[in-house]
Amino acid sequence: MQSDKDISKQGLSDFSLEEKVGQFFMPAAFINDSEEEITQLEALIKNAHIGGICFFHSRASAATNYEGKKEIPYNKESYQTLKKLIARYQQAAKIPLLIAIDAEWGLAMRIENTPQYPYALTLGAIQGAPDLVYQVGRQIGADCRAAGIHWNFAPVADINNNPNNPVIGYRSFGSNKKQVAENAVAFARGLKSQGILCSAKHFPGHGDTATDSHLGLPVIDKSRSELIDNELFPFSELIEAGVDSVMIGHLAVPSLTGDYTTPTTLSEKMIKGTLRKEMGFQGVVVSDALNMHAVSKHYPVKGELEFRAFCSGIDILCFSENPKEGIQKIIDEGNIKDIEASFNRIWQLKSSCFESSGKNKSLSDPRPLNLEIARKSLTQFGGTQQSRVSDTSNWAGIQIGSEGKKLFFEKIKPSISIREIRLVPEQASISHEIVRPETPILLAIFPPSVKPAGSYGFSDTTLALMHDILNRQNVTVYLFGNPYFLNLLNLNTEHSVVIAYQDFDEFQAVAADHFLGRCKISGRLPVQLGK
């Protein structure tokens, strides 16, 4: 653990009850907070003996601004700010803090101008992916160490088998339980190779729901045997592989909890029964963020939610909004044996951070690895792999979405005759005067959003324009985004569709090479599309 304070000499009996219970709490820390807010958190850490903090970008980011009404600030110095804040908060702590973050695809998930790696869904498209996934986890782990972070709340072990899932989707390795498990284990191994703690989430599986638990309580209405056979499988594999912690999602799973209203985060049957007794997990259990509306809006009395979660078997209460009240209620009413057991598990986790040595000084360069991933994830969805390009081809190139992304066509232009067509956003059809019926069309689609809400960021007019283009003959499509977007298009077997998954320069360059016949496709769609 990156701290000047040495707690390795402290025994478990050296701590007061207040200090032990304080270790259960992990409030949010925001990189772009005001000095007043920073000072308030410093005081909380010092006076309440807080055990850890989880970093988020800002109070306007998706982690707190669920309705999206606040403007997210841009701070090109976020990474430097993060490191300074970690030093300040560690200085305020009597017992060194566990510093956590969500870095599923790198620090870039929360911090501007830091290395970004492909989404899990992209990695899931690679055949025989574990070695590359391990390298991704390893490099992300190295970046966490460079920043002073000990705990990455990853990998996502959810099996995404619902195309309308608003919160998991691209964050999952796919819909095949064995591939999800294999890749999640590889990612965790990569993190652990750098001394970074990992967490399997969101137990018992958040993939098969169309409800966002930030806003409401999703219901997974499957039988116990179905869950054991599918959703629980990746978690079992991660537990077998020695995952450091398991994060409990805010889900209603009546076949495991006994009713439709109790969130799994507050279910003793789920945590102490299914997870610990039946699946044999002995490590730290952490809650998903307790500010999420699936749970927070049902417990208006300060501290009650934290107390209920602790009594259900949660060790670390992530994003607790009422730590003072929660600490006092656990001290006053908590079972002393449960308090000791949770503290011992947390202390063992912290000690493992101290034992890891070495510290990276600089962040990784993601480009070489991203290029290899781009080559091996490229996926043919429709049509044939055979190149349709000839030296005499006169193509019309149409790009829709993300106007700033130009590399794809720039890489193609030197090799063939292609005319880029600019279409105004209000345009709902393409006339013969703009593109002749016999002209082959290369359609590059860059969805503005990776999430399904609002048709992935496209207006109805833009979708109508894409449908009009696809009604023509000889249309080749390259998608730089979430493959589930293709469900919104009227595709048929004659359409040649290639999925590149990401809009990174490396993925655009590989897609251009494929279009020009310079490379072959080896990726496979990690989820099912259509009916």
DSSP 117-162: ---HHHHTTSTT-HHHHHHHHHHHHHHHHHHT--EE---B------
Q: Are 156 and 168 in contact (CB under 8 A)?
A: yes
- Residue 54 token pair: 């989880």
Q: Are 139 and 117 in contact (CB under 8 A)?
A: yes
Per the listing, tokens 């000499």 go with: 9
Closest C-alpha among 166, 164, 115 to residue 141: 115
Told to judge if 143 belongs to the known catalytic residues of this protein, a careful annotator would answer: no
Terminal-to-terminal C-alpha distance of the chain: 49
Catalytic residue (one of 33, 143, 208, 288): 288
Angle at 380 between CA 374 and CA 385, to 5 degrees: 105
- Residue 507 token pair: 């993925």
Distance CA 336, CA 253 (A): 29
- Residue 467 token pair: 């449908």
At 113, phi and psi to the nearest 5?
Answer: 55, 40
Closest C-alpha among 111, 169, 176 to residue 140: 111
Residue 509: count of CB within 10 angstroms of its CB: 18
Distance CA 66, CA 391 (A): 51
- Residue 243 token pair: 């995952």
Catalytic residue (one of 49, 202, 206, 214): 214
Beta bridge partners of 211: none
Per the listing, tokens 């000095």 go with: 35
SS3 185: helix
Told to judge if 288 belongs to the known catalytic residues of this protein, a careful annotator would answer: yes
- Residue 177 token pair: 């339980």
Is the N-terminal amide bond of 202 cis, ω within 30° of 0?
yes
Distance CA 309, CA 290 (A): 9
Per the listing, tokens 């309580």 go with: 217
Q: Are 53 and 41 in contact (CB under 8 A)?
A: yes
Q: Are 456 and 482 in contact (CB under 8 A)?
A: yes
SS3 497: strand
Distance CA 375, CA 131 (A): 15
Number of Cα atoms under 13 Å in the Cβ half of residue 357? 0
Identify the sign of the CA torsion 212, 62, 42, 11.
positive
Per the listing, tokens 């908060």 go with: 89
- Cα distances (angstroms) measured from residue 334 to each of 247, 327, 339, 341, 461: 21, 10, 7, 12, 57
**Among all residues, which ones are annotated catalytic?**
214, 288
